[in-house]
């Protein structure tokens, strides 16, 4: 893997650290280049494109995944690419209902799925009707990425949702904690400042940690 900008990674992790759920996804989107003032009003799929961009800047375009087959319990390792995780959409019409994509602000402000559906209707054939839930995923496929899977062990086929915010956060947490451990260990051993440690390449850092007897 090419050297990724570790200062960017640490800054993104820190910006999202105090948040969870939708607010964490928003913080990560801003770290990925989204405009802070308007990010909550972006369609979820558009917001998630900033998460994909940030993820690929930090860790590259290959997404290793570990999934468990729901039929036989076998663990399957697979590698997705950025292309597997990208879709396109816009407003869509289902059964006469025209709906717009869901935004983060919608998720922060509604309490029920029914409220969410009602809020996203642009035009309806009748004021009383029930909005079809499928309309939302049709108009913003990037907000509802699903991966087709098949088990090499038992042949079972299924689809699994892919949540870029959760995936990216798990990776950021793991890498940021490892980096902070390196900074702590090397600062203690050699009296270096954080910037000094981050300026040393990961390969040389491992070597210095070995010499200092600090490998975890």
Question: Where along the sequence are the contacts to Zn ion (CB under 5 A)?
Answer: 69, 71-72, 74, 151, 153-154, 156
Q: At what angle do helices 164-190 and 202-211 cross, to 10 degrees?
A: 50
HSE-CB for 122 with a 13 A CA cutoff: 14
| In the complex, minimum distance from the CB of residue 159 to Zn ion, in angstroms, rounded to a whole number | 14
Q: What are phi and psi of 168, to 5 degrees?
A: -65, -40
Nearer to Zn ion among residue 15 and residue 149 (C-beta): 149
| In the complex, minimum distance from the CB of residue 73 to Zn ion, in angstroms, rounded to a whole number | 7
Nearer to Zn ion among residue 77 and residue 128 (C-beta): 77
| In the complex, minimum distance from the CB of residue 187 to Zn ion, in angstroms, rounded to a whole number | 47
Number of residues in the chain: 216
| In the complex, minimum distance from the CB of residue 153 to Zn ion, in angstroms, rounded to a whole number | 5
The enclosing H or E element of 201 equals none
State whether residue 63 is helix, strand or coil.
Answer: strand
Nearer to Zn ion among residue 150 and residue 173 (C-beta): 150
Strand partners, 103: 43
Nearer to Zn ion among residue 68 and residue 215 (C-beta): 68
């Amino acid at each position: 893997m090419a050297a990724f900008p570790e200062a960017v990674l640490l800054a993104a992790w820190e910006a999202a650290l105090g948040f969870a759920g939708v607010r964490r996804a928003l913080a990560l989107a801003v770290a990925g280049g989204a405009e802070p003032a308007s990010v909550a009003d972006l369609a979820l799929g558009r917001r998630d494109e900033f998460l994909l961009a940030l993820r690929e800047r930090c860790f590259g375009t290959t997404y290793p995944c570990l999934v468990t087959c729901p039929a036989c319990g076998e663990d399957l390792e697979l590698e997705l690419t950025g292309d597997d995780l990208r879709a396109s959409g816009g407003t869509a019409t289902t059964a006469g209902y025209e709906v717009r994509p869901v935004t983060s602000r919608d998720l922060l402000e509604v309490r029920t799925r029914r409220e969410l559906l009602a809020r996203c209707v642009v035009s309806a054939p009748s004021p009383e009707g029930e909005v079809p839930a499928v309309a939302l995923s049709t108009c913003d496929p990037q907000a509802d990425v699903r991966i087709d899977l098949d088990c090499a062990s038992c042949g079972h086929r299924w689809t699994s949702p892919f949540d870029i915010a959760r995936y990216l956060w798990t990776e950021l947490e793991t890498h940021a904690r490892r980096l902070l451990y390196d900074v702590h260990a090397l600062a203690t051993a050699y009296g270096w400042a954080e910037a000094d440690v981050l300026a040393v390449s990961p390969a040389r850092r491992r070597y210095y940690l070995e010499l200092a007897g600090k490998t975890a």
